[in-house]
Amino acid sequence: QKEVEQDPGPLSVPEGAIVSLNCTYSNSAFQYFMWYRQYSRKGPELLMYTYSSGNKEDGRFTAQVDKSSKYISLFIRDSQPSDSATYLCAMKNTDKLIFGTGTRLQVFP
Amino acid sequence: DSGVTQTPKHLITATGQRVTLRCSPRSGDLSVYWYQQSLDQGLQFLIQYYNGEERAKGNILERFSAQQFPDLHSELNLSSLELGDSALYFCASSASDVGTIGNIQYFGAGTRLSVL
């Protein structure tokens, strides 16, 4: 079993939709949770960073962590075609950072 | 722009050859990380250096090696290349060590390696 599981998609939604991206993990030692966005042929860029359980909002993006269920989510409100990218969850404890395989999102006009 | 610079952007070479990928971290960052990204494997951690010292190893093959120089730039050396080594190679940097609270890795644009 992989330490971090993420549905690869692709996920195709119309512009304006609410998008939900999710990851599950098995290592209860993970304390820090991140979402990276990666456009085609580019490097991943950090989108959201959260510590422990709870919600964090930044503009149209909300990151949610449920440590009891070992489940994290990224919500994108009012999705735009420019949000089309691969979204990677990542999580770490004191000595390593593990990435999910990424979910490819396409937002069509 | 993340501030992490990787060269070259593209590299095409033949099986059995050796190549060197270069990474300049963000100004002031002490840690450098190397990752391999292929279509079927996702982003795989290879190795980390912190202030010139090897800090952590992931799924790095023995044919691969890396180092971080006194000016903090890093090089990843890939030798005896095989077709399966074709992938995107990313370098990331962070101000502190991976376990530090608030440690964030910033990624370069990557080097696309094609082994023919």
CB contact under 8 A, B110 and A43: yes
Query: Residue B23 pairs with which residues in a beta bridge?
Result: B6, B74
Kindly indicate the confidence band of residue A1, based on its pLDDT and cuts at 50, 70 and 90.
confident
Q: Residue A96 burial (CB < 10 Å; 0-12/13-18/19+)?
A: middle
- Mean pLDDT, chain B, integer: 92
The 3-state secondary structure of chain B, one letter per residue? CCCCEEECCEEEECCCCCEEEEEECCCCCCEEEEEEEECCCEEEEEEEEECCEEEEECCCCCCEEEEECCCCCEEEEECCCCHHHCEEEEEEEECCCCCCCCCCCEECCCEEEEEC
Q: How far apart are CA B103 and CA B95, in angstroms?
A: 7
Contacts of B56 in chain A (CB under 8 A): 95-96
Phi, psi of A81 (to 5 degrees): -55, -30
- Average pLDDT of the residues in B31-53: 90
Convert the pLDDT of each residue in B76-113 to its tens digit: 999 999 999 999 999 999 987 766 766 889 999 999 99
Q: Which of B42, B56, B108 sits opposite A43 (nearest CB)?
A: B108
Residue B39, min C-alpha distance to chain A (Å): 9
Convert the pLDDT of each residue in A57-73 to its tens digit: 999 999 999 999 999 99
On whether the CB atoms of residues B64 and B79 are closer than 8 A, the answer is yes
Q: Does residue A44 sit at the B interface (CB-CB below 8 Å)?
A: yes
Q: How far apart are CA B41 and CA B54, in angstroms?
A: 24
Q: Which of B42, B103, B107 sits opposite A45 (nearest CB)?
A: B107
Q: How far apart are CA B89 and CA B86, in angstroms?
A: 9
- Average pLDDT of the residues in A3-18: 93
In this predicted structure, the answer to whether residue A93 has a pLDDT above a threshold of 90 is no
- Average pLDDT of the residues in B35-53: 89
Contacts of B90 in chain A (CB under 8 A): 43-44
- Average pLDDT of the residues in B61-80: 97
Q: Looking at residue A92, what is its pLDDT?
A: 85
Phi, psi of A76 (to 5 degrees): -120, 120
Q: Looking at residue A95, what is its pLDDT?
A: 66
Residue A36, min C-alpha distance to chain B (Å): 10
Q: How far is CA B38 from the centre of its chain?
A: 14
Query: Residue A11 pairs with which residues in a beta bridge?
Result: A105
Contacts of B106 in chain A (CB under 8 A): 45-46
Q: Which of B45, B101, B108 sits opposite A97 (nearest CB)?
A: B45
Convert the pLDDT of each residue in A19-55 to its tens digit: 999 999 998 888 889 999 999 888 999 999 988 788 9
Size of interface A-B (CB pairs under 8 A): 55
